[in-house]
Amino acid sequence: MNIYDMTLENLENYFLNINEKKYRASQVFSWLYEKRVKSFEEMTNLGKELLERLKKDFNIYTPIIVKEENDKDVSKYLFKLNDEEHIESVLMYHNYGISLCISSQVGCNMGCVFCESGKRKKIRNLTTSEMLLQIIAIERKINKRISHIVVMGIGEPFDNFDNLVNFIENANNPKGLNIGSRHITVSTCGIVPKIYEFSHLKYQVNLAISLHAPNNELRDKLMPINKVYPLEELIKAVKYYIEKTNRRVTFEYILLSEINDGEKEARELVKLIKGLNAYINLIPYNQGNSNNFKRTKNENIMKFYDIIKKEKINVTVRREFGSNISAACGQLRSKKEE
């Protein structure tokens, strides 16, 4: 097991079970997250016998960055994991800080037809450590602190729920990565039971819903998950989340030319979410390797935006990143495997 898979509480229990003091866990966390050591030998205040025990019970392997692509204010990283599988992360520079979009699975089983990741079926879940170490490896590379995390890369985070929760624990913990909970966003395509479960967590992280269609007929075609959890059930779960957490929800809406970007769809979208403590993030499509879908023209994006804005619903058009590199989810991994 990678030692980054352990939460502080897990590690405290581990030390108690081997008849060591509980505070050893905080010492190890300091070496891992504050001093960013790459080996157990660097943990000089633990003693030889304890270091040997840690080396026997854990590893400290970090995924390797094997490819990097750069564009204005954005970098895309392809990682090779210990089992030779590949994942990717996208780093974005904003006026409010540096954000990183990380992967949560190797591949994805959700099958959204416009998504490059959906064409590569899920091979396995990422471990907690593999999620955390995307952040740590890139921070080492750029020698800067990442301030915001989005779990919206390859994979469906709620399909890897337990590891996701441990990841949030270590990312948010002041002795871990110390990233504020409101600087962490988790995106789901709509696994309804997990939205309810997520509502009861202690973390005040942000929830984003990948919506992409305002009616069941269209969403069924674009996102197979909708056949299992249709919009009525999804919106009901979102209302529960808002009521339980008093947190605003983001609806992500990728605009696909002549598919979901018309006046009719805009008005249906208004009707669907009006009255909710939510806002809509309109996303210009970053065309994948297959080019089956096209980016909506700028004038049509603004028409769509204006319809929503006039209804006094909070709406933004996401700044475009990486149009000159493989920045859309799963593109770099897809190219590697092809």
**Domains annotated on the chain, with CATH:** 3-57 (1.10.150.530), 64-337 (3.20.20.70)
Q: Which of 101, 108, 189, 329 is catalytic?
A: 329
The rounded distance, in Å, linking the Cα atoms of 74 and 229 is 34
- Return the bridge partners of 91, or none: 75, 100
88 given a catalytic annotation: yes
Residue recorded with tokens 């157990």: 40
Cβ pair 124, 91 in contact under 8 A: no
Name the DSSP letter for residue 34. I
The rounded distance, in Å, linking the Cα atoms of 201 and 117 is 28
The CB density around residue 4, as the number of other CB atoms within 10 Å, is: 24
329 given a catalytic annotation: yes
Alpha-carbon distances of 201 from 87, 158, 173, 181, 211, rounded to whole Å:
27, 13, 14, 12, 23
The rounded distance, in Å, linking the Cα atoms of 306 and 12 is 53
Name the DSSP letter for residue 37. -
Give the containing element (helix H, strand E) for 253.
strand 249-255
Give the containing element (helix H, strand E) for 332.
helix 331-337
Q: Which of 12, 69, 88, 265 is catalytic?
A: 88
Helix, strand, or coil (residue 184): strand
pLDDT by residue for the chain (338 residues), tens only, comes to 999 999 999 999 999 999 999 999 999 999 999 999 999 999 999 999 999 999 999 999 999 999 999 999 999 999 999 999 999 999 999 999 999 999 999 999 999 999 987 677 899 999 999 999 999 999 999 999 999 999 999 999 999 999 999 999 999 999 999 999 999 999 999 999 999 999 999 999 999 999 999 999 999 999 999 999 999 999 999 999 999 999 999 999 999 999 999 999 999 999 999 999 999 999 999 876 556 899 999 999 999 999 999 999 999 998 876 666 554 555 555 555 54
